A and B are shown apart, each in its own frame.
Chain A
Amino acid sequence: MDSRKGELIRITTLLVSIVVFVLSLPLYFNFNAHAYEMQFVEKLPWIPSFGIHYHVGIDGISLFLILLTTFLMPVSILASWHITKHIKEYMIAMLVLETGMVGVFASLDLFLFYVYWELMLIPMYLLIGIWGGPRRIYAAVKFFIYTMTGSVFMLLAIIALYFLNHRATGEYTFNLLEFYRLELSFAVQFWLFLAFAFAFAIKVPMFPFHTWLPDAHVEAPTAGSVILAGVLLKMGTYGFVRFCLPLFPEASHVFIPVISWMAIVGIIYGALVSMVQDDLKKLVAYSSVSHLGFVMLGIFAFNIQGIEGGITQMINHGLSTGALFLVVGMLYERRHTRMIADFGGLTKRMPVFATLFLIITLSSIGLPGLNGFVGEFLILLGAFRSRILYASIATSGIILAAVYMLWMFQRVMFHEIIHEENKTLKDVSKREFAILIPLIMIIFWIGIYPNPFLRKMDASVNHLLKQTGEKAQTVSNLQTQNTAVIPKIDIVSETKAEW
């Protein structure tokens, strides 16, 4: 393909993604912060005979995730300017990916949700498998199969819900809002929770389902990593908030210790393993395990600070880690290596880059005044209110975060330049500057004045807490009697009447 055509494709894609971003802005400005109901709802019949609808809408929880997606997309496309191989296919994959991601966050019909969920998988698989690094096939297959394994269980659970709902109401539908009204027995909740949680835990990824992440990140092209870390991982945490908590409240309560401990182990384990990586991308990948552990801990604190902190931290992680991958990508483009040992002393050659990189690093560390702190502190406060022990252990993660990030920064940016190749490095170009500056502005904004974000979540999060709290109350007696016993229940038999 000649370069002019390539340029045209790039610019078109960039424009499209910018238009999408601009179109998504009214969601923010016209969002009614006082209503907990779904807003901007659209509902059209798709396959009416099965009760499947194109049913989308957003609330204060999905709002910011959609904005994050549409915001990161132009950034990622700008960061893909150097791609020359199959550029048309690459850009198509990127845009299909965006469709899938926005669809997942907006779907209110579980069938539609599942379609988007799987749709997302394919372009990401291709991005890693075609435009990735040397071990791209291994990484892509691993990524695909890991996610697929979880998805299968989720699909089963969705179908089970479909029939359970029919038995309760006599209506065939995949409407999530209808499912919310179901009064499921604890035993059913238990198993369905597990099925959903398994799919989401892999996506988050929670320890010990995280080993696909470092491989996928290392092999993925920069933009792939940015989207993967920035948005795809949030599908897991979002899934917990959107499905597990309100659909299976009692089961969620029972699983608090399990999930919380997995989160805590993830926080510390991710940080420690991250500390000793010698590949920049792997380091950032493991740091994601640690950060997402915080998010999960916040969600399962079951109070407003924890969940609002969790949602804020999802955004923050998308911005900070996305930015970190961009930075690593910029280094990679210059030196074609990601090994920390190949760098050192870059501050001397790239002072502007050093400043930007430092701000992003500090945001990831959770320095007060930058975005990471707001989320982390609210999460820990929420966790502290529900269980002091959990929060106390998890808080040690903030020490480790400083260790692994600053040590990395020191080895890459400080000291004398020892490698000849590094002596001729160029500072950030205008394009790179344009990529990072919007991210950094939002990093400061959320850090200093997070209210515009937090206030739009209030109504939805309060409603979510009410949903989970009230439902949990009704069956709590039942639950306290046999929490220790794993309920034996055959979903097939419960739904058999329908077949």
Chain B
Amino acid sequence: MLDLVALILLFPLIGTAVNGLAGKRMRKETVGYIACGAIGLSFLVSILVFCGLLLLPPEGRLFEKHLFVWIESGSFRSLAALQVDPLSTVMILTVSGVGFLIHVYSIGYMHHDKGYHRYFCYLNLFTFSMLLLVLSNNFLLMFIGWEAVGLCSYLLIGFWFEKKSASNAAKKAFVVNRVGDFGFALGVMLIFLIFHSIDFTEVFSAASHGNFETGNFAITMITLLLFMGATGKSAQIPLYTWLPDAMEGPTPVSALIHAATMVTAGVYMIARCNVLYMLSPFTMTVVASIGAATALFAASIGLVQNDIKRVLAYSTISQLGYMFLACGVGAFTAGVFHLMTHAFFKALLFLGAGSVIHALSGEQDIRKMGALKSHIPTTYKTFLVGTIAIAGIPPFAGFFSKDEILLEAFVRGNFIYWSIGAIAALFTAFYMFRLLFMTFYGESRVDHHTMEHLHESPGNMTLPLIALAGLSFVGGFLGIPGASAINHFLSPVFGGHTHAEIAGTELAGHSGHHGAWLPYLMMVVSTAIAIAGIFLAYQMYIKKPDLPKKLTDRFRFIHKLLLNKYYVDEIYDALFVNPTKKISVKILWKGVDVRIIDGSVNGIARLVGGLSNVLRLLQTGYIRNYAFYIVVGCIFIVVLAVFGK
């Protein structure tokens, strides 16, 4: 069954090709069926591959499928080969599963769009790229997927290319990702220089067999460079700025980017390279710190945003911060677990937001919503599930994964990591319920005209919502403390050193002064934090709706700072974008090129021309002049002959 793995990639590729080449001439239904069918088949094959992997003994769960040699030059070789192991299996199931639901949803959501076939062509390509990224068995092949998801985000964010803001956002996404890719590419080159190979298995086995001491400089550089790539793709400080702007694309695309594909790439990559990262404590500190900082930073911006998608966007950045925090403290399983649960509930929330926007004929401002609960009941109920899940209320999915990260941050990291994570959790619960209350509760602020068209979304949109709500509810049970299935499944990839049993004696042995009661205490604390956040939101947006206004007036400066996202975009523009443009025009082009280089070239030409003009004067055409020159010449020669010696 493992041999089928190539089909996982083939189906979406066929879907892309068929819809791309012939989609225009086909009926809309056919286009949709082809696209959904491609991903659906991919998902089914993924399940088969998963089953095939389960049949193998846990330590032998690694399968490689060699397709062909991609690039070979001298001793450098990059194969086109796929790798199936527990980590990539978790990823393909998540990507193709959630991706499939998003595809189905898109049939309804994009029904009226003129670029229907183009949309599904890109969407299939996106899924293909992400699947390639997680299935490749070496760094360079992974880089194809890595850059291709960047391309697809470019195409889909800029899907409505007539809008200037959309095409700007698309370009920004690609370029900012390229900045990260610059680091990633250098990292791959350094890996080749150090390991003489870029195959995962070879690199990791060389690294894990004690050839490198902990803290090795080259390994630290490699991991930092790769992490730079991850900050771009997974929207971490300082390269997160593209993600909020990515809202310009159709909403299901946001769901795809934020949940299943693209942003999870960085987390996956670090989890994949856990052997290397464990060798560099410095990089781990950097990863954990950036993760924690991003989690808090983005959550704080999320507190005051008024665009339903923008709130979710900052929440994504913040949640990704959690995942990096987990990886940074060495709890890779927790990071991947949260990646998975987050894929469920964030896809749900985005699709739910899409359903709200759909119902309100395109309105995204939550100040113009309210009291939608009874009008769009299915959307409301599923959105509620997603909100509870992300806020971290047991037994919903987000609770288990986030709780595990906070616990690991405390046990393996330090109190600071934990407290930052805890504050961010408080913020998360607050802004998510603020969003929920402002959208579905209170008084309706929807304008009259929109109200008339208010309707629940069709079945092909609500069914994916229900499915995702189910996953958001039960997904967490895969990682129940003490009997964590996902921990168990992933342990061959992450090895013993990265695998902490949450409950029981092992933990007590690791850090003596914490007892076995710690995990349970943590659960209580994180639940309490979540409830506190919800209570605060309830107080402010249901009980005393005038309170937010007062607070805003009171803390005008902070509010403005948060509302304007700390002015980071403006700072980047002032620091990088504008100076580069100015220098390029004024100094390089108009200065160096036109004035200095071309100036001297033309100067030489003019000089030669000028000299020739002078010499031309000698050519008078009068014999007497020439006779005169001859005489002068003769005298000169004679003088030279006589006195020269």
Contact = CB atoms under 8 A, between A and B. Distances in A.
A396 interface: yes
A272 B68 CA distance: 38
B361 interface: no
Contact of B182 (A348, A374, A398): A398
B162 A348 contact: yes
A380 B189 contact: yes
Contacts of B158: 410, 414
Interface in A362-392: 362, 367-369, 374, 377-378, 380-381, 384-385, 388, 391-392
Contact of A367 (B147, B583, B601): B147
B189 A413 contact: no
A398 B588 CA distance: 19
Contacts of B162: 345, 348, 414-416
A351 to B, nearest CB: 8
Contacts of A210: 597
Contacts of A309: 73
Nearest to A409: B171
Contacts of A374: 71
Given A380-B189, A415-B164, A406 B171 contact: yes
B580 interface: yes
A407 B151 contact: no
Given A368-B144, A414-B167, A449-B68, A399 B74 contact: no
A402 B175 CA distance: 6
Nearest to B585: A276
B423 interface: no
A395 interface: yes
Contact of A406 (B174, B193, B588): B174
Given A414-B158, A414-B167, A211 B73 contact: no
A5 to B, nearest CB: 39
B298 to A, nearest CB: 24
Given A374-B71, A407-B171, A449-B70, A367 B185 contact: no
Interface in B560-592: 580-581, 583-585, 588-589, 592
Contacts of B432: none
A399 B179 contact: yes
Contact of B584 (A273, A347, A395): A273
B255 interface: no
B73 A308 contact: yes
Given A272-B584, A304-B73, A145 B179 contact: no
Given A208-B597, A272-B583, A402-B174, A451 B69 contact: yes
A395 B69 contact: no
A262 interface: no
Interface in B64-101: 68-74, 76
A272 B193 contact: no
A378 B73 contact: yes
Contacts of B185: 377, 380, 395, 398
A146 B72 CA distance: 38
Contacts of B592: 208, 269
B71 A450 contact: yes
B410 to A, nearest CB: 38
For B73, B158, B584, the residue with the greatest tally of chain A CB atoms inside 10 Å of its CB is B73
Interface residues of A, number: 54
A330 interface: no
B581 A275 contact: yes
B276 interface: no
A403 interface: yes
A309 B164 CA distance: 38
Interface string A281-314: 0000000000000000000000111001100000
Contacts, number: 129
A211 B597 CA distance: 7
Contacts of B589: 273, 276-277
For B148, B168, B589, the residue with the greatest tally of chain A CB atoms inside 10 Å of its CB is B589
B148 A377 contact: no
A400 to B, nearest CB: 9
B443 interface: no
B597 A368 contact: no
A454 interface: yes
Given A275-B584, A345-B162, A449-B68, A454 B182 contact: no
A285 B192 CA distance: 34
A381 B189 contact: yes
A254 to B, nearest CB: 24
Contact of A403 (B71, B148, B175): B175
A303 B192 CA distance: 14
B197 to A, nearest CB: 13
B179 A273 contact: no
B588 A273 contact: yes
Contacts of A392: 186
B114 to A, nearest CB: 10
Given A276-B581, A385-B193, A395-B186, A402 B178 contact: yes
Nearest to A347: B161
A413 B601 contact: no
A381 B192 contact: yes
Contacts of A347: 161
Nearest to A277: B589
Contacts of A369: 144, 147-148
A272 B588 contact: yes
Given A381-B189, A398-B182, A305 B144 contact: no
B182 A396 contact: yes
A347 B166 CA distance: 14
A406 B71 contact: no
A454 B77 CA distance: 12
Nearest to B155: A358
A367 B151 contact: yes
A89 to B, nearest CB: 28
A64 to B, nearest CB: 14
Contacts of B588: 269, 272-273
B547 interface: no
A406 B584 contact: no
B72 A454 contact: yes
B178 A368 contact: no
Contacts of A368: 140, 143-144, 146-148
B249 to A, nearest CB: 13
B175 A399 contact: yes
A449 B182 CA distance: 23
Contacts of A276: 581, 584-585, 589
Contacts of A377: 71, 140, 185
Interface in A432-456: 448-451, 454-455
Contacts of B70: 448-451
A454 B189 contact: no
Given A368-B144, A414-B167, A451-B69, A303 B74 contact: yes
B10 interface: no
A348 B181 CA distance: 31
B605 interface: yes
Interface string B126-141: 0000000000000010
B181 to A, nearest CB: 7
A384 B193 contact: yes
19 contacts: A208-B592, A208-B597, A211-B597, A272-B580, A272-B588, A275-B580, A276-B584, A277-B589, A304-B73, A305-B73, A305-B76, A308-B73, A345-B161, A368-B143, A384-B186, A391-B189, A392-B186, A399-B179, A399-B182
Interface of B: 20, 68-74, 76, 140, 143-144, 146-148, 151, 154, 158, 161-164, 167-168, 170-171, 174-175, 178-179, 181-182, 185-186, 189-190, 192-193, 580-581, 583-585, 588-589, 592-593, 597-598, 601, 605
Given A211-B593, A406-B154, A416-B162, 13 more contacts: A142-B601, A210-B597, A272-B588, A345-B161, A362-B151, A377-B140, A398-B178, A403-B175, A410-B171, A414-B161, A415-B161, A449-B70, A455-B72
Interchain residue pairs A-B with the least CB separation, the first 10:
A304-B74, A414-B167, A414-B161, A368-B144, A272-B584, A384-B189, A402-B178, A211-B598, A276-B584, A276-B585
